[in-house]
Chains A and B, each alone.
Chain A
Amino acid sequence: MAACSSSAPEKSDSAAAGEPKTGGTAVYLEQQTYTNLYPPAAGFYPNGGIVNNITDRLVYQDPETLEFEPWIATEWEVNDTATEYTFTIRDGVTFSDGSKLDADAVAKNFDLYGKGNTDKALTISEAINNYDHSEVVDPTTVKFFFSKPSPGFLQATSTINSGLLSPKTLDLDLEGFGAGNGTDIIGSGPFTITDEKIGTELTLTARDDYDWAPPSAEHQGRAYVDAVQFIVTPEDSVRVGSLIAGQADIVRAVEAQDEKQVEDAGLTVYAPQTNGVNNALNLRFGNKLLSDIKVRQALIAGIDREEVINTIYTKNYPLATSTLSKTAKGYVDESATLTYDPTKAEALLDEAGWKVGSDGIREKDGTKLTLVVNEAAPQPRSFEALTLISQQLAKIGVDLQILKADAGTYAKAILDQDQVQIYHSMVGRADLDVIKSQYYSANRNVLQNLNSNTGEIADPQLETLLEAVASEPDPAKRLENDKAVQDYLAEQAYVIPLFEEPQVYSAANWVQGLGFESVARPTFYNVWLDK
């Protein structure tokens, strides 16, 4: 098999062939039904695919360069300590129910996303840190205040988790944002939800009077297609088959093993990167089996990551070289610490006192070196990858078990480092804060640095380094802090990065202009059908 790790992901916006045509309905096949359209809950891809197209954001983040550009905010100002943000709001923007998108509306959006509303079971947005309050200066000026520096806030205003909704929509509770109420969710975006069949279908219709795309965009005015029809098609083979048979225009979640079939049929595969923390195995060092750095280093040296990628995935899944993806901001190359060397792995385990027992599994003081890793169901081919990794580790005397359980047992087990010592996961967000989201005790805490059972912090230094990323107002210093975290995670052998995770889509050849936001949710604004 060819070395695939260096090939770049597909460009997200294909160069349009000829003049865009207006009209037609694009049929888009989703793998799962959406659950909720509350923007802070839009991390789930089926939710995000909808929210991204019905809402605008204050700031536009270019998915290629990750730079910030004006959108609904024509300009903005941040104070030196990153505790005050002032936005100037574009004039004349309306939500699809006719209400105005003015400073009041923006303030109401962020008061909800920044503070949540527990009475309505609406949670705080993961992307917004240290939010305090808003202040409407005049109809086109709004200020936000933070209790502590919040340097990630500007990026947060560009994510789909901060999609701007009409003031009336913001009065809904969690139930109101749930399935079946799609047509009540009102944004100012290029599309509006006009029809819904719970669990199976949803229709987005282009807004004729839409006229506030990011000023930098080539395409202004209304979307080209009249409508996008979302159809939930859970079965992989039916999704891919329908596309090849010409019954659908665009599909999401093309499995690695199906990519060849799609390419053989002459169709385009899109694999936009998610620009965040790579798909990785996180070693929970608070557990006594993994508290010795030599054991953790041995696991890294004992896993042939290239074999995993060449066997289970495709060229669209580049080999990871750090905790962060190459295309993410602040990326540092840590590949020197990630070399495959089974001889070294065995030597390290010997040094650490783990001797091979009669059954080939290493033991120390009567304890076997048996580790449990969770199957990450939302991640592509997690079980297959872990199975291969467990075979590789068996060769150096490590017994790796894969946790497959019902949802309740699973949800409890992954919060306990004595049940799950290795946590398989990833997270996409195009901001330096993403690394904090993944590892900080009050966020995802995937290393269980904060022990959920005892409330103790195992490694205070990691906490300090992560806090520094999220609270440093100076951009250059913040970049340094982000690098420091990556270096530290690599030095301590806390993480085994596997690959840079894409979202894989495919589209018929007549589909032009399909684009993706910075974490690979589809953008239909520029799509037109050349048929």
Chain B
Amino acid sequence: MGYIARRLGQAIIVLFIAFTGAFLLLQALPGDALLIKFENPELGLSQEQIAAVRETYGANIPLPVQFWHTFTGFLSGDFGYSVQSGTAVRVLLAEVLPATLLLAGVGFVVAVFVAVSIAFLSTFTRFAWIRGVLRSLPSLFVSVPVFWLGIILIQVFSFRLGLIPVINPSPVQALILPVLTLAVPISAPLAQILTRSIDDISTQPFIAVVTAKGASRSWVLFRNVAKNALLPTLTIAGILFGELIAGAVVTETVFGRAGLGRLTEQAVANQDTPVLMAVVLVAALVFVIVNLIVDLLYPVLDPRLKRKVGANA
């Protein structure tokens, strides 16, 4: 119990630091969203009119007051309004978050499936040439730019073969190509780490003992090797979740999907502070949760860790 409480405390501190850091950095940037929006020559406003608008938005309020206001707002679940569109940030998030979580979640599952398949097949297969091909796949996958892959998939499967429409697809159709786009680059490092771990563990003495006792190849792989190889892979998987969000930015833009990535991209372009603050916090929250889960899974997978944790608590 003490372990979980401590990890939760750490998570809250991380979130607070992320919030403060984002607030200060966004303030330190030259210009602000109001400047970008209202001093834009396209609107043709006079300096007096701009000054009046800034007054309305409370742009002249001292920094500590703004910080306190934003912070207490966040605590009560009020993220303010997007300066660019005037829409409540809460509404924007509620609209895009499910789509991104679905895309990232399914993308991650597919990536894990692909990675595990590559790793196991490349170890299990008896033919050396297949092993060679499979083992070179991750380096190929990791070097494919996400946007390029997305466009190629659309060109081939939607425009040339006409299999999946990009415009007005069904909910399932809408997921297939974006998930593939996202899963390929994520699966690459996972497959690499997993293959490497399997190789390492296979050469360890206890495997030789198990094999000598007459265990079959698959028995050894699934019962002994796989379980031990999962730990480093899990660590990487936690970190990769961050990359998943980054990949979603590109994927969502190419496929015209609603999502956190698209929202972020537009908010960055307009220095839309309230939206960016909320995005930073959501991203930090997801990251903290995923890594918390990973940490809590460690002792389950490896009993030795459980003992160590118990000793510390």
Contacts and interface: CB of A to CB of B under 8 A. Distances in A.
Q: Which of B35, B44, B88, B162 has the largest number of chain A CB atoms within 10 A? A: B44
Given A126-B43, A238-B254, A178 B35 contact: no
Q: Which of B52, B166, B253, B271 has the largest number of chain A CB atoms within 10 A? A: B166
A497 B131 CA distance: 63
User: Interface of chain B, helix or strand or loop or mixed?
Assistant: helix
Interface string B41-72: 11111110100110111000000000000000
B237 to A, nearest CB: 29
A231 B167 CA distance: 8
Interface residues of A, number: 62
Contact of A409 (B30, B42, B52): B30
Contacts of A41: 43
B106 interface: no
B162 A235 contact: no
Contact of A412 (B31, B95, B168, B254): B31
Contacts of A410: 31, 36
A62 to B, nearest CB: 25
A205 interface: no
Given A33-B266, A36-B86, A408-B35, A414 B92 contact: no
Contacts of A181: 87
B95 A199 contact: yes
A414 B269 contact: no
Contacts of A174: 86
A489 interface: no
Contacts of A444: 41-42, 44
A441 to B, nearest CB: 8
A443 B56 CA distance: 21
Given A247-B165, A408-B271, A198 B49 contact: no
B283 interface: no
Interface string A30-44: 000101100001011
B38 interface: yes
Contact of B258 (A29, A43, A200, A452): A200
Contacts of B87: 175, 178-181, 198
Nearest to B147: A235
B129 to A, nearest CB: 37
Contact of A247 (B41, B82, B168): B168
Contact of A245 (B38, B47, B162): B162
Interface in A1-48: 27, 29, 33, 35-36, 41, 43-44
Interface in A182-198: 197-198
Given A118-B49, A412-B31, A415-B39, 14 more contacts: A33-B266, A41-B43, A121-B53, A121-B86, A197-B258, A198-B87, A242-B158, A247-B168, A406-B271, A407-B31, A407-B36, A408-B31, A409-B30, A444-B44
6 contacts: A198-B87, A198-B95, A198-B258, A200-B258, A247-B166, A414-B41
Interface of B: 29-32, 35-36, 38-47, 49, 52-53, 55-57, 81-82, 84-88, 91-92, 95-96, 151, 154-155, 158-159, 162, 165-168, 253-258, 262-263, 266, 269-271
Query: Which 7 A/B pairs are nearest by Cβ-Cβ distance?
Result: A408-B31, A178-B86, A178-B87, A126-B44, A247-B167, A444-B41, A175-B86
